[in-house]
Amino acid sequence: MSESIPLLLNKDQLRARECAKWTVYPDDVIPAWIADMDFALAPPVREALAQRLAAQDLGYPKMYQRAALPEAFAARMAARYGWTIAPSQVEFFSDVVQTIHFCLLTLLEPGEGVLIQTPIYPPFLQSVVETGRRQVLCPLQPGPQGYAMDFDALDAACDAGTRVLLLCHPHNPTGRAFTREELEGLAALVRRHNLIVVSDEIHADLMLDARPHVPFAMLGEDIAARTITLTSPSKAFNIAGLCLAVAVFGSPALRQQFGRLPDHLRGGRSTFGMAATAAAWQAGDPWLDAVLAQLRANRATVAEFVATRWPLIRHTPPEATYLAWLDCRALALGEEPWRFFLREARVALSEGPNFGAEGEGFVRLNFATSPEILQEILARMDRALITAGKSTPAAR
């Protein structure tokens, strides 16, 4: 962990935050649910925001093209992933989920199918319902090494009306970072069924192992041409409140189709969002490296705790993200585990069933916090399990 970049905040500092994570539950609950991190801001981001405020510069913002954000994004993709795109392929929006809605409204007709691998980040499921499109669900297969794609099941799931693969890559909530081999398999499936791909890669900068992220659009020119890649600086740089998302259009045809919606539905980009993003991409990587080191340490803490004290909970440590997906079904609590842990441990976790039917009996634990708070979260959950007779003495 970098000594020179202070990351950790204490509970009083966090309680003073006005974000959703720290305001939804009463003060005696420790929040470990929504995907925000409990770390101090990257210094360049903080400085950029302070500058805009000092300049009292809150009029209509300049166009993002003038801020050279498409160029900055393209340069970042080339440097980090070896992914070559032209700045002209890049557009900016407010939120990734907003942009998913736009994709579904413009790329499919009502009733057409969207292939989704479950369990999944809940807005994937909601966006299909809310836009009147049809969910084509195919579960990832849980195994001893973690979740894997089932290509036969994916093939079988795709019917004639399935038009779009909505991919979460890396995957929330399982933390899978799909291998090149898996992605090649998926690319073959996409070709076989003539699908358009909407690839949400918002967690790409949060790879926890040495393996680099492989943008789905890198799998071939033909794949790029049928892919819209969505991402945002909000996850890696912890600035979701600034509302800025990125879309990369793999072909003019896709962009034209997407352009069917009136431009003003997109809303605007905020001055703060653009300033923070430019600063993060330009000078935020030392901070991001420090965050990743802390997340790796926290991932190990969770994995060791589960392995040594909770024999009834199954967990494969994530390869990316800061989310631990805990299979609590064998606890046989007689209720959803998030409800049990909220009441008995006063810890707020994400509710498994929101991630689809495969999430029943699961919780998602956000471990992007200080080691001290993480220990308290785990200790509270442990005490609740001991009291309920669900943590065996041998495991203690």
CA 341, CA 350: separation in Å to the nearest integer? 11
Sheet of 30-32: strand order equals: 30-32, 347-351, 362-366, 323-327
Q: Name the minimum Å distance from CB 133 to ligand PLP.
A: 17
Q: Does 245 bind ligand PLP (CB under 6 A)?
A: yes
Cβ nearer to ligand PLP, comparing 272 with 310: 272
Q: How many residues bind ligand PLP (CB under 6 A)?
A: 13
Nearer to ligand PLP, 96 or 333 (CB): 96
Give the H/E segment covering residue 222.
helix 221-225
- Say whether residue 20 binds ligand PLP (CB under 6 A): no
Q: With respect to ligand PLP, which residue has the nearer C-beta, 193 or 364?
A: 364
The verdict on whether omega for the bond into residue 393 sits within 30 degrees of 0, i.e. cis, is no
Q: Which of these segments, 66-74, 94-102, 205-213, 296-304, binds ligand PLP (CB under 6 A)?
A: 94-102
Binding mask 159-188 for ligand PLP (x = CB under 6 A): ---------x---x----------------
272 three-state secondary structure: helix
Q: In whole angstroms, what is the distance from residue 335 CA to residue 188 CA?
A: 41
Residue, CB closest to ligand PLP? 95
Alpha carbon dihedral 45, 84, 163, 243, in 10-degree steps, equals 10
- Which of 75-83, 90-98, 125-133, 299-307 is the region at the interface with ligand PLP (rule: CB under 6 A)? 90-98
Tallying the residues shown for the chain, one arrives at 396
Nearest approach in angstroms of CB 147 to ligand PLP is 15
Q: Pick the piece of the chain touching ligand PLP (CB under 6 A) from 42-50, 93-101, 262-270, 352-360.
A: 93-101
Residue recorded with tokens 């890396």:
170
CA 245 – CA 94 distance, rounded (Å)? 5
Half-sphere exposure of 6 (CA within 13 A, CB side): 4
What minimum distance in Å lies between the beta carbon of 115 and ligand PLP?
Answer: 16
Stretch touching ligand PLP by CB under 6 A, among 77-85, 91-99, 153-161, 210-218: 91-99
Distance, CA of 83 to CA of 103 (rounded, Å): 22
Write the CB contacts of 220 (distance below 8 Å, at least 6 apart in sequence).
187
Q: Give CA angle at 162 (186, 230), nearest 5°.
A: 60
Among 229, 234, 366, 369, binds ligand PLP (CB under 6 A): 234
Report the chain's C-alpha Rg in angstroms: 21
Residues 274-333 contacting ligand PLP, CB under 6 A: none
Q: Does 376 bind ligand PLP (CB under 6 A)?
A: no
- Note the residues at the interface with ligand PLP (CB under 6 A): 35, 95-97, 121, 168, 172, 200, 202, 232, 234, 240, 245
